[in-house]
Amino acid sequence: MYMWKPKSIQLVIKLTKLCNLRCKYCYEYPYLGDKRKIELTDIEKMFQNILPSVVEHSISKVEFVFHGGEPFLLSASYYRSIFEMQQRIFGQAGILFQNVVQTNLINLKPEHVQLIKDDVISGVGVSIDLFGEERVNQSGKSMDHRTLANMDILAKENIFVSVISVLSGKTAPFYKEMFAFFDKCNTTWRLLPIDLTGYEGQHDDNLLTAVKLVKILKDLFDQWIQSESAIKFEPINEYMDIAISFLNSNETLHKFSKETDDSLFIINTNGQVFCEADAYNDLFAYGNIFTTPFSALLSSSARKRAIERANLITGSVCNDCMYYGHCSGFRMAESTTEKLYWDVNGNISCTVIKPMVDYIVEKLTFDNTFPLSKGSLSTDKQLAVL
C-alpha cells in the first residue's frame, strides 16, 4: 500500500499543444502545430478516475492548471463544459477545486474574459519576457504588444494576473529591466530558467551556468529588497522564506518526501501522467489517467522509479545541508535534467539555492542597512527576525 497524504494537489493539464506562438525555447516546440485537444469524454473519465483517490486521502483542494500550447485557442464553451463536469463530480462530493490558466494572452476574447468573471477560471498566469526576441509568432515577429494590451484589458476589469518570464541566454542581459517593469506594474512575477528540452540542440548556447544564474539572482534580490512595491517575486520569496526559517530556531522543519508529499502532476494531451522532474520521459510515465484509476498510477512501478530518483538526489545533496528542513528539498527532488548542476567530481550539487540562501542569510544577519521594515516580509516572520 502506497503512502500518500498531501493536503492539496495541482494537476497541470495539457489541453492542447496547438499554439499561436513559436517560442524558441518552448519544450513543446515540435508539436505546436498539432490541432488536437483532449476530448470532453476523456476529461470526464479523467475526473472520475481522480475523484476516489482525492476522497480516500482527504485531499482538501484540487487545482487544475489549464496549459498548452495556448489554452485560449479553445472555445469558452469547452471550458464551461469542463466546469459543469467539475461541479458535478468534485463539487457534489464536497471537494474544493479551482481552475487556473497559463496563457500568452494574445488571443483574449470577450468570452474568455467572461469565463474569468464567472469564476470558471479563477486565476490567470501570463507568459511574457518583454526582451530577447524568443517569444515570436510563425513569422518570427514578437507579439508582446498584444499580450500587454490584453493585460490592460483584464486590469480594467479588475482581473489581476501573475506573470512568468523565462530566463535564458537571450533574455538574461535584460533581467534588471524585466524586474523594473513588473515591479512598476505591481504584479506577481516568476522568473523561470529553461527547464525542459523539446529537441536535440534546442538550447545550445542558451542555457545559463549556475554561476551566471546566481549572479543574476543576487542582483535581482538587491533590486527587489530596495523596491517600494516589494512584489511577490519567485524564486526570491522562496529563498527569503528559507533564510528566515533558518534564522528562527523555533520554525517547524519539513523535508519533502516524494512518496507522501507528491502533489504536482502533469497530464499530457494523450492522458499520460508524469511528475515535474520526469515530464515526457516514458520510463517515468505513471500511466494513463483516461483509462486508469489515479490510485493505480500512484502505486505504479514508474512512480516508484521516480521516488527512487528523488530520494537519490535529496539523499546525496540535501542530507548534509544546514538548511535542510528549512528548505524542504522539493526543488532538488523535482529538478529536471536541465536544472541540475554537477560539481567538478561529477556529483549533483545545489549550486543555485544554497548560494542564494547563504547570501540572504548574510544580508539578514550582518547588513545593518537591510530594509526589513519595507514590507518585504510577512509581519510575523519580520518580527521574528528583528
Strand partners, 14: 67
Q: Are residues 170 and 307 in the same domain?
A: no
Q: Are residues 283 and 377 in the same domain?
A: no
| Cα gap 302→308, rounded to integer Å | 10
Is 70 exceeded by the pLDDT of residue 372? no
Q: Are residues 190 and 329 in the same domain?
A: no
Q: Are residues 295 and 325 in the same domain?
A: no
**pLDDT of the residue at 229:** 86
Question: Once rounded to an integer, what is the mean pLDDT over residues 314-335?
Answer: 95
**pLDDT of the residue at 44:** 98
**pLDDT of the residue at 343:** 78
Question: Once rounded to an integer, what is the mean pLDDT over residues 353-379?
Answer: 72
**pLDDT of the residue at 369:** 54
For residues 141-170, one letter each, b for 16 or more C-beta atoms within 10 angstroms of the residue's C-beta and e for the rest, the string is: ebbbebbeebbeebeeeeeebbbbbbbbbb
Q: Are residues 136 and 215 in the same domain?
A: no
Strand partners, 190: 164, 234
Q: Are residues 266 and 358 in the same domain?
A: no
Q: Are residues 268 and 307 in the same domain?
A: no
Burial of residue 368 (CB within 10 Å: 0-12, 13-18, 19+) is: exposed
What are the pLDDT digits (tens) for 217-240? 999 999 999 998 889 999 999 999
| Cα gap 336→194, rounded to integer Å | 10
**pLDDT of the residue at 374:** 36
What are the pLDDT digits (tens) for 33-83? 999 999 999 999 999 999 999 999 999 999 999 999 999 999 999 999 999
**pLDDT of the residue at 249:** 76
Looking at the structure of the chain, the number of domains it has is: 2
Q: Are residues 42 and 72 in the same domain?
A: yes
- Structural domain containing residue 103: 1-208+262-299
**pLDDT of the residue at 375:** 40
**Cis bond before residue 287 (omega within 30° of 0):** no
Q: What is the CATH number of the domain that holds 4?
A: 3.20.20.70
Does 384 or 141 have the greater pLDDT score?
141
**pLDDT of the residue at 381:** 36
Q: What average pLDDT is seen over the chain? A: 92
**pLDDT of the residue at 378:** 44
**pLDDT of the residue at 1:** 44
**pLDDT of the residue at 373:** 39
Q: Which pTM was predicted?
A: 0.92
**pLDDT of the residue at 2:** 61
| Cα gap 383→379, rounded to integer Å | 6
| Cα gap 43→268, rounded to integer Å | 12
Q: Are residues 27 and 117 in the same domain?
A: yes
Q: Helix 76-89 to helix 110-117 angle, to the nearest 10 degrees?
A: 20
| Cα gap 319→95, rounded to integer Å | 36
Q: Are residues 358 and 384 in the same domain?
A: yes
Q: Are residues 275 and 327 in the same domain?
A: no
Q: Are residues 214 and 349 in the same domain?
A: yes
